[in-house]
Chains A and B, each alone.
Chain A
Amino acid sequence: MRKPFLLKFLLAAVLLLGNTAFASDSDVEEGKDKKTEIKEFIEHHLQDSHYFNLYGTTDEHGKVHHVGIPLPVILWDNGLKVFSSSKFHHGEEVAEVDGNYYKLYHSKIYKTDAEGTITYDEEHHPTNVRPLDFSITKSVVMMLVTGLLLLWLFSSLAKSYAKNNSVPTGAGRFFEPIVLYIRDDIAIANIGEKKYKRYMPFLLTVFFFIWFLNMFGLTPLGVNVTGNIAVTTALAVIVFLITNFTGTKDYWKHIFDPLGDGMPWYGKIIIYIILVPIEILGLFIKPFALLIRLYANMTAGHVVLMSLVGLIFIFKSWVGGPLSFGLSFAISLIEVLVALLQAYIFTMLAALYFGFASEEHDHDHEHEEEAELAHL
C-alpha cells in the first residue's frame, strides 16, 4: 500500500513544477511592456473566472485562442437569465439574452447597450450596472469538485471501517491520524472533552475543505479559491454564526458584563462604556481576522510564485531562467506547507472561538446544556 502513495506524492511534485507552464501565453504580444503584462496576468489569475481555462495559445496574427470549458452564467436581472459563458467570447463580444446586453470586462459582467459600450468614471472604474451574478464560475466548479472528492474519499473511508472491523486501510491510514489529530489536539484541546463532539463535523469539514482547495490552487489548474475574499468571508460567516448560536450564558455574560460581580455598578458603568463596545467589536474582529488571514496568505503565495515564474520571461537568460525556476520550485514546496498550515490555523482558531463560546464557569446550568445538546 506504501508504494502507490509515494507515486502520488511524486505526481503531485511534478504537477507543482507544471506551474511554469502558466506564463507561456503571456510571452508573445509585442509592444506591450512585459512587466505590466505579467502583472495583469497575475491579477487575472487571482480573480475568479467564467471559464475553466486549461491553457491559451496565440496564433501568428497575435490572436489568443483559449482552450477550456465555458461555464454556465446565471444572472438575476429582473428575472433569472441562464446562458453559457461562451457567448462572451472571452470578453470580446457582447452577449444578448432576452433583449438585454451583457459584456465581460475584467472577469466581471456588466449590463451594456447593443454595442457593448462601457462608461468609466474618472478613476477608470466602469459605471455600468452590474447584475447580480450567481454564475457557476471556476471557483464554484472547484468547490464542487473538492466537495465531491471529500465526500467520496471520506464516505468510502467510513465504509471501509464498517467492512474491516474498524481498521483503516489504504488512504485511511493517511487520513485517520489527521482526523484523530483534529479531534485530540484541536477540538478536545480547545473546546473540552464535554462539548467537542458537536463541533467536530464542522472542524473536520473546514480543515479538509481548505486544505484540499489550497492544494488544488498549487496545481497547474491554478484555481485560487481559498485566495478569494468571497470564499473566506463565507467560511468566516459560518464560524461567526456557529460561535454565537452555540454561545453559553457565560459567553454572553463575559461580553456584556466582563467584570462580573466583583465591582459595584457605578464603578462598572464608566468602564463598560469603553469595554462593552470593544467586546462587541471583538465578536466581529475574530472571524474577520480569520477571513483576511486565509485570503492574504493564499493570495500572497500565488503572487510570489507567479512573479518568480514571470521573472523567467523578464530575464530571458541562461542565469535568470534556472535561478527563478529554482526559486519558484523552493517557494512551491513552502506553499505546500503553507497550504496545510493555513488550513490548520483556520481550524485551530475556529476551535478556539468555539471553545470560548461553549465555556462554562459554574455547573448550575448543566441540565439546560444537556437539553440543548439533545435538541441539536
Chain B
Amino acid sequence: MEKLVNDFSFGLFFWQIILFVLLLLLLRKFAWKPILNAVNDREEGIKDALAAAENAKKEMQNVTADSEKLLQEARAEREAMLKEAREIKDKMIAESKDQAKAEGDKMIKQAQATIESEKKAAVADIKNQVAELSVEIAEKVIKEQLSNKDKQLKLVDDMLGDIKLN
C-alpha cells in the first residue's frame, strides 16, 4: 500500500483527468454521436424498409385477389350472356314454330273451306246436270212413252228419289 501511495504521481493524475475529459468531449462530438446516430438511422431504415416490403406484399396480394374477383365476375357474366342467348334462340324457334303451325292451320282451314265450297258447287252443278239429265230423260221418256202419263210421272219420281239417295 505504501508503495502504491509512493508511486502515485499527482502530475500524471492531473494530466489523465484533463486529457480524458477532453478526449471524451471531442469524441462525443466528432465520433460517438455521429456514429451512434448513423447506426440508429440505419436500423430505423432497415425496419422501415422491411415494413414497406411487407406492405407491398400485402398490397400485391390484394391486387391479385381483386383481379381474381374481376375474372370471376367476367366469367359469370359471359355465362349469363350465353344462357340468355340460348334462351332467346329457343324462344325464337318456338315462336316461329307456333307461327308456322298457325299459318299452316289457317291454310289447311282455307283449303278445307275451298274444298267444301267447291264440293258444294260441284254438288250443285251435279244437281243441275242431274236435273237437266232428268229433263232430257223425261223428254225422251215422254217422247217414247207419252202415251202412258201415269207411268211417266211415276218414273220421274223414282228417278229423282234415286238421285237424292246418291
Contacts and interface: CB of A to CB of B under 8 A. Distances in A.
Contact of A166 (B16, B19, B30, B41): B41
A74, A134, A237 interface centre (most CB from chain B within 10 Å): A134
B35 interface: yes
B86 to A, nearest CB: 65
Interface in B1-45: 4, 6-17, 19-24, 26-28, 30-36, 38-39, 41-42, 45
A209 B23 CA distance: 9
A238 B39 CA distance: 27
A221 interface: no
A214 interface: no
A154 B38 contact: no
Contact of A201 (B16, B17, B27): B27
Contact of A238 (B4, B7, B14, B21): B21
A137 interface: yes
Interface stretch (A156-164, A315-323, A333-341): A156-164
A69 B106 CA distance: 139
A157 B27 contact: no
Contacts of A183: 36, 39
A234 B11 contact: no
Contact of A200 (B14, B17, B19, B36): B36
Interface string A136-172: 1101100110010011001101110110001100000
A118 interface: no
A269 interface: no
Contacts of A64: none
Given A147-B23, A151-B27, A229-B8, A234 B35 contact: no
Contacts of B20: 143, 205, 209, 234-235, 238
B18 to A, nearest CB: 9
Contacts of B12: 48, 137, 139-140, 228, 230-231, 234
B9 A230 contact: yes
Contacts of A230: 7-10, 12-13, 16
A155 B38 contact: no
A136, A140, A237 interface centre (most CB from chain B within 10 Å): A140
Given A132-B11, A157-B31, A180 B17 contact: no
B166 to A, nearest CB: 125
B42 A155 contact: no
Contacts of B32: 154, 200-201, 204-205
B9 A204 contact: no
Contacts of B39: 161, 166, 176, 179-180, 183
A202 interface: yes
B40 to A, nearest CB: 9
A86 interface: no
A133 interface: yes
B9 A179 contact: no
Contact of B8 (A74, A125, A233): A233
Contacts of B24: 201-202, 205
B23 A150 contact: yes
Contact of A150 (B14, B21, B27, B41): B27
Given A157-B31, A158-B34, A238-B20, A134 B15 contact: yes
Contacts of B42: 166-167
Contact of B15 (A140, A167, A179, A237): A140
Nearest to B12: A230
A158 B8 contact: no
A151 B13 contact: no
A142 B38 CA distance: 30
Contacts of B8: 229-230, 233
Interface in A197-250: 197, 200-202, 204-205, 209, 228-231, 233-235, 237-238
A225 B112 CA distance: 139
A24 B58 CA distance: 74
> Which 6 A-B pairs rank lowest in CB-CB distance, beginning with the nearest?
A154-B31, A234-B16, A158-B34, A161-B38, A201-B28, A166-B42
30 contacts: A48-B9, A134-B11, A134-B14, A137-B11, A139-B12, A140-B15, A143-B15, A150-B23, A150-B27, A150-B31, A151-B26, A154-B35, A158-B30, A158-B31, A158-B38, A159-B34, A162-B38, A166-B38, A167-B42, A179-B35, A180-B39, A209-B20, A229-B7, A229-B8, A230-B7, A230-B10, A230-B12, A230-B16, A234-B12, A234-B16
Interface of A: 47-48, 74, 125, 132-137, 139-140, 143-144, 147, 150-151, 154-155, 157-159, 161-162, 166-167, 176, 179-180, 183, 197, 200-202, 204-205, 209, 228-231, 233-235, 237-238
